[in-house]
Structure 1
Amino acid sequence: MLGISNPSPIPEESNPTEELNENWLIPMIPIDVLDSLLISDSEGVPDDQLCKGSTFWTKDALSIAVGLWNIHHRAEYKVARSDSKRLIIVYKHEDHCPFEVRATWRETFWIVYKFTEEHTCMNDLSRVAPRQVHAKVIAAYFAKQMRGEGQIMKPKDIRAKMLEEFGIRTSYSVALRARNTAIEMIYGGHEDSFKMLPSYLYMLEQTNPAFGCNPETLIVSDAHISISNAVQEVFPGTSHGLCYYHLLNNFTRYGKGVTSMFYKAAYSYRRTAYNKAMAGIHALSPNGAYTKLMDIGPERWARSKCPVRHYGFLTSNAEEVLNARLLWARRLPICSLIECIRHVIEQWFDSRRARANARDNALTEEALKKLREEVEKSRVYNVVPTSNSTFKVHGGRQRFIVDLHQKSCKCREFQLDLMPCSHAVAAIMKNGESILDYVTSYYTMDNWRETYEGSVRSLSHRDDWVVPAHIAQQKVTPLIVTRQAGRPSGHRHPSGAEAANRRRRRPKKCSIYLDPNHSRNNCPNRDR
């Protein structure tokens, strides 16, 4: 998990269910979004119309066209002659069959100068499928459908389509190779995409100039060393915090007492509450959990110790939605993957711009909801003014000092959240002022609208790119990685805490009769 927490967030309705209902989780990015990266027509998927006078840019394109004609007409063939200048294809079984395709090279393209479609042989009628149904031929046929329908077909779908449309049974391995070849036909290979990467990034920067990050930006992730190194390299001077749930997974073995104290230490606003929670952890596990937490550093996981504001303020909903949205796009070459990410961000800007413009509240919905809760809490407090701007707020056995001029409270919620806490709300109401005057502009609808009033622009077609020579000549090669055995996992592995929560949410029921009122062990009908 990797999330960026900014000290000037725009609180939004981060409801994952609402995101799902808006079709964020679709299996594939529309292919027309990637038109700027598609291979040009001169290198594209050949037309399956084979006739006298047909022209093709490469011999492979010509061979695929013959293979497509073979699928439609079930006429097996053999190559009688093939060199750099000529290609002669005749029928496979009998010499006197008139079927023949002759093509020649004309400096820049191949042209079919003779095509005899008629064939009189009967040998192939008993065959279930012609032998020349290669993966590249199937890929050429379905690449057009993938590009037109805007999704990548699965191998089982390709097999079903081949059987339904042509009555041809293909193996899963052939269908898988056809799917991968079709992706390469549309977008190019991974090696070609890495070669294009410097030019693509240059055009991306020229089209969408970056605006940089706030100096107090906080990046929250797990404790993997590679992420820490990348943060310092890409965002020098930025604070790097650790995710609470990832750390919690390492401390569950110390018992519920330690985990509950760890939660209080991580999310407490007041340092006195943090010290009290850490004292409890030290009492329960002095040489285990306490030592590990101190070695990691409280400034990386504790809200009260964090050098910047808003640790634990933002959720990872956007990241989870983005991961699910790009599940299929991860299989694409790197430039197409980056373009898919750009497209998702473009959609987010468009939809949230519309949502922000449709509302006329002073604050965002989440800010209003939190402010109402603080107002309800403040009704039972006793407020005593000590000056024009400072107040003593009594709540139960505790006493808090609120300074409206400094916008601070002893509980530290006012300073960290930049929104009046319940004690500050009581002081503001006692002073006869408006609570909205003490809410930072980050929570206002005007700020939200300004955040999304910009646009994420699409790139022009790569044939129209103007890239400096020193950038276009840069060589970038794919990373050399050793593939592990088995099928690669497409989903992120949940942490221990996440997996436990998912298991708890799953209703228990009898595995024999699916009755939620009893289990398999005490099933009354088990012995029947």
Structure 2
Amino acid sequence: MRYERLKERGEAYTNWLDRIPREQYALAFDGGYRWGHMTTNLVECINSVLKGARNLSVTVLVKATFYRLNELFTRKRAEADARINAGHVFFEMVTSKLHANQRASGNIQVSCFDREHEVFEVREMSSGVEYAVDLHQQWYDCGEFQVDQIPCRHVLACCANQRLDWQVYVHDVYKIDQVRRVYRARLSWRNPTTWPAYHGPQFVGNPFLRRVAKGRPKMTLFLNEMDTRMLRGPRRCKQCGAKRHSWSRCRQ
């Protein structure tokens, strides 16, 4: 639908879009590699961990990164253990979504085509739309499972009809036990006095690269055509026409 809207505005838009692989911008064609998330800047997730450790010497930078990651691993490991001890199997987001799908699966009619290969046909009573469900191949016409790797309402209806365990169709990435395995690693730090002696060149920090404490920090981003506001020239005063100040701070 949105593609047709772009085509109405001009074929140049769709021609530009056709040159980009669909799996790079369309969630329906990503092959289930993003787990329902549309983001291209995953490194920002650990930005809070390394915040404040920039512009330091190499030794201090490595040491600060180690201690902060060690604290993060310890906290996440304790949270995962607490969730497992409380009887939680999946994330709260996944559990709430599964409950919503279970409530919606009550208004679906299921027809079993092949019990051995787990092939079904489901029909929504409200809209009359029919879908094919292949549990063995984990393929469904609605496409929700291929994107999120979580059983949709049609899959839950088929599992309830044939008394199958729906938890086997939830990917392991949503299980808290898998998260605990990620943060199970123990980080160790050797005493610096036991390190081998360094006989290489001595590096001296450039004092001009030190961040100034006063004033607004200087922007170091590489601007493109989207940053139209930042690409504008310096601010001009409406009173005297000079640059670098506004009319409220004009000396004239």
How far is the alpha carbon of 1:474 from its aligned partner?
6.4
Corresponding residue for residue 466 of structure 1:
196
Matches within 5 A, 1:440-519: 440-457=171-188, 459-466=189-196, 487-489=217-219
CA distance in 1, matches of 2:3, 2:190: 56
Larger radius of gyration: 1
CA distance in 2, matches of 1:286, 1:476: 59
Please, what is the CA RMSD of the aligned residues?
3.8
Which residue of 102, 116, 139 maps to 1:375?
102
Q: State the SS of the aligned residue for 2:147.
A: helix
CA distance in 2, matches of 1:492, 1:355: 39
Unaligned runs of at least 5 residues, structure 2: 210-215, 228-252
Q: Match for 2:129: what amino acid?
A: Q
What is the CA deviation profile of residues 459-490 of structure 1, one whole-angstrom value per residue up to 9, with x for unaligned ones?
Answer: 323331137xxxx566697999x97xx84349
Cα gap change, 1:461 to 1:418, in 2 (>3 Å): same
How far is the alpha carbon of 1:356 from its aligned partner?
1.1
Indicate whether 1:336 and 2:60 are aligned: yes
Corresponding residue for residue 391 of structure 1:
120
How far is the alpha carbon of 1:300 from its aligned partner?
1.7
What is the CA deviation profile of residues 239-293 of structure 1, one whole-angstrom value per residue up to 9, with x for unaligned ones?
Answer: xxxxxxxxxxxxxxxxxxxxxxxxxxxxxxxxxxxxx4423322233213x2332
Cα gap change, 1:308 to 1:341, in 2 (>3 Å): farther
How far is the alpha carbon of 1:353 from its aligned partner?
0.9
Matches within 5 A, 1:191-230: none
Indicate whether 1:282 and 2:7 are aligned: yes
How far is the alpha carbon of 1:417 from its aligned partner?
2.5
Q: State the SS of the aligned residue for 1:358.
A: helix
TM-score under structure 1 length normalisation:
0.35
What is the CA deviation profile of residues 396-452 of structure 1, one whole-angstrom value per residue up to 9, with x for unaligned ones?
Answer: 243211111222211222233222111111111111122213222332232222222
Sequence identity of aligned pairs in percent?
23
Q: Match for 1:404: what amino acid?
A: L
Cα gap change, 1:378 to 1:294, in 2 (>3 Å): same
Corresponding residue for residue 296 of structure 1:
20
Corresponding residue for residue 350 of structure 1:
74
Corresponding residue for residue 403 of structure 1:
134
How far is the alpha carbon of 1:307 from its aligned partner?
5.4
Corresponding residue for residue 313 of structure 1:
37
Q: State the SS of the aligned residue for 2:120.
A: strand
CA distance in 2, matches of 1:420, 1:461: 50
CA distance in 2, matches of 1:279, 1:315: 24
CA distance in 2, matches of 1:410, 1:362: 28
Instruction: Extract structure 1 runs of 4+ deviating beyond 3 A.
Output: 314-322, 324-327, 472-480, 489-493
Q: State the SS of the aligned residue for 2:78.
A: helix
Q: State the SS of the aligned residue for 1:332.
A: coil
Cα gap change, 1:307 to 1:432, in 2 (>3 Å): closer
Q: State the SS of the aligned residue for 1:392.
A: strand
How far is the alpha carbon of 1:350 from its aligned partner?
0.8
Unaligned runs of at least 5 residues, structure 1: 1-275, 498-528
